[in-house]
Amino acid sequence: MQFKLGEFFCGPGGIALGAIDTGIISNNKGVKFSIKPSWASDYDLDTCQTFALNVHKDINSSDVIHHDVRKLDIDSLSDCDGFAFGFPCNDFSIVGESKGLKGEFGPLYSYGIKYLKTHQPMWFVAENVGGLSSSDNGTALNVILKSMKEVGYKVTPHLYKFEEYGVPQARHRIIIVGIRDDLSIKYRVPKQTHLKNFNSSRNCLTKPPIKEDADNHVLTKQSKRVAERLKWIKPGDNAWSEDIPEDLRLNVKGAKLSNIYKRLDPEKPSYTVTGSGGGGTHMYHWKENRALTNRERARLQTFPDDFLFIGSKESVRKQIGMAVPPMGMKVIFQALLMSFAGNDYESIESNIK
C-alpha cells in the first residue's frame, strides 16, 4: 500500500525525504507499505524550488504550491492518505519573544487543522519546537491537541531527541502523530536506537569527506579578528571562554548566549542547527578557525550531499536551519508504517501526557 502525502509548511523537503526513504513489508500479508509525496505548499519561493527540484525532480513542478497558507483554497486541495505540517515555530521557540498562539505565526497550525477536518486523511504528522510544551504557560500544546482530537484523530505527542535516533545533532522537537478515529491502528513512539552510541559531528562531517566542489559548500570569508578569536576557543567551548585574551573578547552586556562563536565538540553530536542569527551564530568547526559551510550544516541535518539547495547563501542557511532532519523523520514514518502493517516494533511511553 502506498500512502499519498500532502504537506503544508513543507520547507526544503526534510519530512518528504524521510518519507521517501521509508518502506516496510507487512509480516502478515507480505504487502509493502510506503509513502509517496503528492503535493506540498510553502510561502518561500527558494524553499519551494528546492523542494520541487529534489523531491519531484522538477524545479517548476506544479505539485509544489508557492503560496501563503492563509490564502490557500484548502477545500480545493487534493485528498491525501497522509498529511504533514511542520507549522512555524517562531512564536513557540524559547529564543525570542515567545508570543505563543497570540503571535503572528502561532495561529498558523489552525490551517493544518482545517485541512484535516475537510479532507480527513488516514494519518498526519505535525512538528514543532520543544518550547511548544511551555508556550502560553503550558496551554498552547493542549489547545492544539484538543483541536486535533475534535476533528477526529487520536494523537500521540512526544518530545523526540533526535540525537537518540542517530542524528548527529542535538535537536529536540515535538512530533504529534495522529491516526483517524475510525481506524483500529495504534501508533507507539519508537524506542531510541542511539542512547549510548551517539553519532558525532566529526564522524558526520569526515566520513566520507565532503568534496571541495560540492554544492552549497562555499566557505565564509572570516575576518582576521574572528579567526584570531577562534584560535583561543577550544572544541565545545564558546566566546565566553576564559582563555580568550582581553582584547579579543566580546563587549556584550547582559545575557551571554552559549552558542556565540561556539565550536563543535568533535566527539559529540553538534548543537542545534539554526536558520538565522547575526555574528557568531553560524556554528564553528572544532579545529579549523571558521564557520561551517551550508553543506556541512546540511550534513548535520542528515541531508545527502547531492541534495541541492536553491537560493542565496543566507536563504540556504535559513532553509537548512528550519528543516526537519530526514533521518529523524524516517524513524517516525517507519514506526507509522509498521503500525499500519500490523508489525511489532520496540517502543517507549510518550513523554507528553
Instruction: Round to whole Å and give the CA distance between 48 and 248.
Output: 41
Q: What is the DSSP string of 265-307?
A: -TTS-B----S--STT-S-B-SSSSSBPPHHHHHHHTT--TT-
Neighbour-count burial of 134, counting CB atoms closer than 10 A to its CB (0-12 exposed, 13-18 middle, 19+ buried): middle
Going from the C-alpha of 72 to that of each of 75, 84, 101, 125, 222, the distances in angstroms are 9, 16, 20, 20, 42
Contact (CB, 8 A) for 100 and 113: no
User: Please, which residues have CB within 8 angstroms of residue 44's CB and are 6 or more apart in sequence?
Assistant: 66, 315, 319
Amino acid at 226: V
Contact (CB, 8 A) for 85 and 126: yes
> Residues with catalytic annotation?
89
Contact (CB, 8 A) for 49 and 87: no
Going from the C-alpha of 17 to that of each of 57, 192, 250, 259, the distances in angstroms are 12, 20, 40, 28
Instruction: Round to whole Å and give the CA distance between 47 and 316.
Output: 8
The residue behind cell 516494533 is 345
Q: Which residues sit opposite 65 in a β-bridge? A: 41
User: Please, which residues have CB within 8 angstroms of residue 314's CB and are 6 or more apart in sequence?
Assistant: none
Beta carbons within 10 angstroms of residue 209's beta carbon:
8
The residue behind cell 493544518 is 112
Instruction: Round to whole Å and give the CA distance between 45 and 49.
Output: 6
Length of the chain: 353
